[in-house]
Chain A
Amino acid sequence: MKRRWAGVAAVALGATAFGYLVSREDWWAVALHWLFPSLPVVLFSSATLAELVIQHLQIVLTSSAFTIALGIPLGIWVTRESGRDFRELVSATADLAQTFPPIAVLALVLPALGFGPAPAIVALSLYGLFPVVSGTVAGIDAVPRAVLEAARGMGMGPWEILRRVELPLAARVIMGGVRTSVIINIGTATVAAAAGAGGLGSPIISGINTQNGALLLEGAAAAAMLAVLADAALDRAEELLTPSSQ
């Protein structure tokens, strides 16, 4: 138990350090000037790095929330009696969608929703859906038949079996799917800037357009750090949510 909370403390420390780092634009300016001495502009001018990180987080958190809120119930549904017929369809779509480049998803949604955060959130929610669905299905499928048989035989109803047996036992695999989804989302959300949603993709796209490597690095480095931090945080969350016996 002690070690678990030590992990949480380490993540909190990392998050604080990251927050402080992005607030010190002067440090970034010094570093980027040193790396790109010939460039007159080394920092994105329309928004501070802290603002970009917050925008990015908003996009990621909103779309991941949608993904989880949709993906886990969908995964549960196709493992129920009522949804079993749709299981093949859902798995096939999951396989197909994972081979789809995210920018193509965005391009497909743009005409329907126009520019701004909305199309980006829709595209990201759908793109990240599949690791969550397949994680949920795989996790529930892995619950031993004997355990389910015993649960039914002792008089647990379908809801009790789901809540007390299936979900706790599947928690680790489901969390694995969520983690994959969120990490993909943090990277893919940089593409959201192309749809005018802001976030850390903005300096990247601006840097590409103006051939400014410093701007590109500003966005990419911050996004990478965010992804590493999120991965560590979700790793801790996975451990905390998983029953101690496993």
Chain B
Amino acid sequence: MIKLENVTKRYGDKLVVDGLSLEVAEGEVCVLIGPSGCGKTTTLRMINRLVEPTSGRITVGDRDVRSAAPEELRRGLGYAIQSVGLFPHLTVAANIMTVPRLLGWERSRMRARVDELLTLVGLAPDAYATKYPRHLSGGEAQRVGVARALAADPPVLLMDEPFGAVDPLNRERLQGEFARIQRDLRKTVVFVTHDVDEAIRLADRIAVMKDGRLRQYDTPERLLDHPADKFVHDFMGADRALKRLGRVRVDTVMNTAVPRIDRSGGGAALTSPASCAVERFAYVVDAAGVMEGWSDCREPESSESPGSGVTLIDWREATVRPDDSLKEALSHMLELGFRRIAVTDDSGHLLGDVSLAEVEAALTGGDSHVATSPAGGLDR
């Protein structure tokens, strides 16, 4: 879909990008990463001709980017940047409509598109469409920036550290949402970042750059397991085992057949010997299936107060979502001191759980060098 052939960019004597060749397949996320000054942003900006290459050839969907006026090219390539650059004098809706308006869409079509996009990025259209950018938080502004980049439904999305300016918590949330949106839309994405964890989480393939040259272009797994040289090895960092876990989504490994007790049946159900016979432990849900806690059958049950073996929790704090990574799940388990953690949807419905066994399996699944520790070490 996007092909860079021997692309070089020179500013005077300074070689910023040096003979770079790179191919991004349709529907893939290619993350350009490297230390600052490695040429990753310049490379991105050459794709939409904000920077003109000194030599080499760039094609998008078999068309040389130089075959049309730069403005026309850019309207077909979504563009989102770290500083967002929302137009402060226009409402959120007008900001999102920028490219559709340039393309001459009809008003009703633009209006419908704004609602669709705001919903997609998780902002209520009624509340946000008429707001001005100065009324948005950093995370909301980034979401609008992404919606604006997607407005005319371009097949290609160019993103320059789009989540770089938000706090770590919001960044993880935005990354998760981006991953979810990308699963549905299957855009061809070129994404610049200097955050290795972000790259590993979002990329289908990562291009590691240094001094204007491509050092390795591979899947995150291959980069972690078979770095091409010492630079790539060091750049990917020491905690490679944890980073691998960042690649695995909870819903791909979770156990869906978990023991559960419907608490709406009354206290009696909690002590049902049947559920204790199978597992010493079962999740407790309400009539709607919303996670309420768990029951530990080993705990002595006093006849005066049935259900005393039940631990009630707030699902928002002690569970993970299906599109969280195993890294996040493990982090939660360590924090809470549990060997397993429940998976719920956004409204708390119990979907299943993941345990340390799945984490270990994920680590040993590939041809990882990571030694697995004996099980049970993390039990409380």
Contacts and interface: CB of A to CB of B under 8 A. Distances in A.
Contacts of B124: none
B73 A155 contact: yes
Given A169-B89, A245-B133, A152 B74 contact: yes
A243 B76 CA distance: 29
Interface stretch (B79-87, B106-114, B268-276): B79-87
Given A155-B75, A157-B71, A243 B89 contact: yes
Contacts, number: 74
Contacts of A165: 87
Interface in A217-246: 243-246
A17 to B, nearest CB: 35
B102 A245 contact: no
B75 to A, nearest CB: 4
A59 to B, nearest CB: 35
Contacts of A155: 70-76, 99, 102
Given A144-B85, A147-B88, A155-B102, A245 B134 contact: yes
Which secondary structure dominates chain A's binding surface?
A: helix
Contacts of A156: 71, 98, 102
Kindly name the residue among B89, B90, B149 whose own CB sees the greatest number of chain A CB atoms within 10 A.
B89
B370 interface: no
A82 to B, nearest CB: 17
Contacts of B149: 154
B76 to A, nearest CB: 8
Interface residues of A, number: 23
A152 B51 CA distance: 11
Given A153-B74, A154-B148, A245-B132, A168 B89 contact: yes
Interface in A141-170: 144-157, 160, 164-165, 168-169
A152 B48 CA distance: 10
A164 B102 CA distance: 11
B181 interface: no
A245 B89 contact: yes
Contacts of B72: 155
A169 B85 contact: no
A246 B81 contact: no
A154 B88 contact: no
B192 to A, nearest CB: 13
Contacts of A144: 83, 85, 88
Nearest to B76: A155
Contacts of B134: 245
Interface in B54-97: 70-76, 79, 81, 83-90
B71 A149 contact: no
A169 B88 contact: yes
Nearest to A147: B85
Contact of B75 (A147, A154, A169, A243): A154
B50 interface: yes
Contacts of A151: 85, 87, 98
Contacts of B102: 154-156, 160
Nearest to A167: B89
B98 A146 contact: no
A81 B145 CA distance: 27
Given A245-B134, A246-B88, A146 B83 contact: yes
B48 to A, nearest CB: 6
Nearest to B70: A155
B102 to A, nearest CB: 6
B73 to A, nearest CB: 7
A45 B99 CA distance: 64
Interface string B129-149: 000111000000000010011
A151 B149 CA distance: 11
A150 B102 CA distance: 14
Contact of A150 (B70, B85, B132): B85
Interface string A151-194: 11111110010001100110000000000000000000000000
5 contacts: A144-B88, A150-B85, A168-B89, A245-B88, A245-B132
Interface of A: 144-157, 160, 164-165, 168-169, 243-246
Interface of B: 48, 50, 70-76, 79, 81, 83-90, 98-99, 102, 132-134, 145, 148-149, 158
